[in-house]
Amino acid sequence: MEAYRARNYAAAIREFEMAVKEQPANAHYQKMLGQVYQEQSGSWKAIDPLRRACTLDPREPEACFMLGKIAFRRALFPEALAAYQKAIEIPDGRGASLAGLARTLDALGRTKEAEQRFRQAVDAGETVAQIDLARSMLRQGRVQDSIALLTKAAAAGVPGARTELAREQRMVPATPAHPAADVASAAIRFRESTLDMIVRNGATGDKHLPETMLGGVAVFDYDGDGWPDIFIANGATFPTLRKTDPSYGNRLFRNNHNGTFTDVTARAGVAGEGYSMGVAVGDFDNDGHEDLFVTGVKSNTLYRNRGDGTFEDITTASGLGGELGFTAAAGWFDYDNDGRLDLFVVRYVNWDPARDATCSAVAPGVRQYCHPLSYGPMTNLLYHNEGGGHFRNVSKEAGLEAHPGKGMSVAFGDSDGDGRLEAFVTNDNLPNSFFHNDGNGRFREIALEAGVAYNDDGAVISSMGTDFRDYDNDGREDLFVTALPDELFSLYRGIGPNLFANTTSPSGMARESRPYSGWGTGFYDLNNDGYKDIFVAGGHVLDNAEFNSGRKSRLPNVVFVNHGGGTFKAEALPGDGFYRGSGFGDFNHDGKIDVVVSRLNERPLILTNTTATAGHWIQLRLVGTRSNRDGIGARVHIVTSSGEQWNRVTTAVGYASSSDPILHFGLGGDAEVRTIEIEWPSGTKQKLAGVAADRFLTIRETAAP
């Protein structure tokens, strides 16, 4: 205790560890060990001794309360619930325990029980619980109830109530609602067509791991004509991993402005040579022409857009060359806000075609692909844009090398509102990675503390595709992760700075996603009702899953329709397949988001959005001047008569894919946007007012911050 009071935590831990070893049934020693762990190194070491203390003696002061608090931060809501229920039996600090219990119930979607507990906490002296209750009411759409409660709290001098009241009053009619009944019930419909190519994985029957994973898609305007074009990454032959047959080449298709696309690969020079996996689009040199970074099984390729319809391979000269192992995905973002796009590269597993694992047969003469556990992990890579077409590998100094994984996708967002982008990486059968941008060129891995490392059951899953956007219109960005059948797709709702609640169950995603497998994905408002829906490209990782499971191998694409209030309903689309990458954009300029999806050993599928009763819309193209030219990382906030929405410019969407950076907002029945506010990566802020709906708008960054 003397060491603890002196903040000599290392010495205190040594002594308390000896104490619990000698007296393991002493709840006080267990609690103190957990408390010192918490103050010295964070919650992940503290939870075990606190769990033992709370079990040994629930009346040990603060033991169960501290366990509940830490479990809540880690999104272990069932454990937090049980701990807080024990803690409220202790008179000392009962108000704080009731408030913690209420927050946990609220995160689980049990809002009525939460409100009862919030009010009990206030009666027990925890007056600040009124602010949490008001926020819960706001998320439920009870705007006036929330404001009335905050008004009363502010008058009583509750700390923070006046600030929260002012924020909510600025948001009126803050809580989003479906603008019109006919739009809210709009069924999402697509018309199918295909691109003239085959996505070839080179399968030989030997079950090489990369065969299951290729097919990244990019939607981008390569020729600057204002219409989104399409790039598809393609495979190669084994064991050479080279495109020895021209049919294995990557493909670039130009938008003909009439619903058709023309193959312009030969002239553009982007067919490639190796086994391609994914693609990332970004104007890294700020010349107004979108460039391509293509990931591969052994090496990657950087294509600089010359602006004349052709690309130049500058991989070696740029510093991005060399054999880097199995790279699945990549994404462009400006992590230091210097106006130049940097590159985050996601590597999968340590796979060598010469020493590939051979896994047992599931039936006579029938083999399956090996589990990811058969291969070692890899570290992600970060390249800083030095300007002049040169990049520097800063992975070690940025802190990435200390956290290997089995990465499949990356998405970027600002989880604490400090203006710097974080990177979320999905890992296959390992905890996901969440790299917090500390602003000094370094990243801290905080997935466990943020609550996004594991699924709803605290387990690792086959995390594949992801997107990082605000689906419930509360101003905080959320995360979605696809996985295999029965693993459930994970939905994490942002509830505070660097903190997420796992809402897979209360959102309906647990029930709705169970039969499906997902790869490419994206948060997009597909019926323009003011809520972002979720598109998922389907298909099992195994081509013969029927042999050892009750699930099919070929599966459909699925739209999870956002019905507001944070709930989703699945609508499977016609046609099963082995779908993989997906890209999003408005191919025909009708104000509705379309999708292109790759599928193994078949033609890529174009899904043209034909939703007849879709609402109004607006699309924004941002052009940076002080910020990077694509405006990647810029945050846009719009206000209409029906409510508010937020979105962020990015091209890193889904699985190993890239989407049009143009921001799309569905407006429902609103024919005007009251205000558009833009926060640029440079710190510049812009505001527009009274903007008519159903139009494309290009916004250039102003010169002054």
CA distance 573 to 187: 12
| Residues 561/580, Cβ–Cβ less than 8 Å | no
3-class SS shares of the chain: helix, strand, coil, % to 5: 25, 30, 45
Identify the three-state secondary structure at position 635: strand
Query: What amino acid occupies position 311?
Result: F
The end-to-end CA distance of the chain, in Å, is 51
Secondary structure string (H, E, C) spanning 201-267: CCCCCCCCHHHHCCCCEEEECCCCCCCCEEEECCCCECCCCECCCHHHCCEEEEECCCCCEEECHHH
Closest by CA to 60, choosing from 86, 95, 80, is 86
What's residue 168's pLDDT? 65
Query: What amino acid occupies position 304?
Result: R
CA distance 653 to 444: 22
Cβ neighbors of 523 (< 8 A, separation 6 or more) are 467, 469, 471, 478, 480, 532, 533, 534
H or E element in which residue 620 lies: strand 616-623
Identify the three-state secondary structure at position 280: strand
What's residue 175's pLDDT? 35
**What CA–CA distances, in Å, run from 646 to 264, 636, 637?**
36, 6, 5
Please provide the DSSP assignment of 432-500 as one string.
-EEEEE-SSS-EEE-HHHHT-SS-TTS---B---EEEE-SSSSSS-EEEE---TTT--EEEEEEETTEE
CA distance 151 to 157: 10
Identify the three-state secondary structure at position 398: helix
CB-based burial, 414-437: b 16+ in 10 Å, e otherwise? bbbeebbbbbbbbbbbbbbbbbbb
H or E element in which residue 56 lies: helix 43-56
CA distance 264 to 252: 6
Radius of gyration of the chain (CA): 26
Q: Look up residue 222 and give its two tokens.
A: 């390569």
Q: Look up residue 698 and give its two tokens.
A: 């290009």
Closest by CA to 664, choosing from 636, 700, 702, is 636
CA distance 532 to 681: 24
What's residue 341's pLDDT? 98
CA distance 138 to 145: 8
Q: Of how many residues is the chain composed?
A: 705
For strand 361-363 and strand 217-220, is the pairing parallel, antiparallel, or unpaired?
unpaired
| Residues 316/203, Cβ–Cβ less than 8 Å | no
Closest by CA to 108, choosing from 508, 494, 502, is 502
How many CA atoms does the CB half-sphere of 455 hold within 13 Å? 24
Identify the three-state secondary structure at position 247: helix
pLDDT along the chain (705 residues), means of 10: 86 91 92 84 73 89 88 72 90 90 83 92 92 80 83 90 74 38 60 95 89 96 97 94 93 96 97 96 97 96 97 97 95 98 97 76 71 89 97 97 96 96 96 96 95 89 96 96 93 93 90 93 96 96 75 91 88 95 97 97 96 93 97 97 96 97 96 97 96 96 74
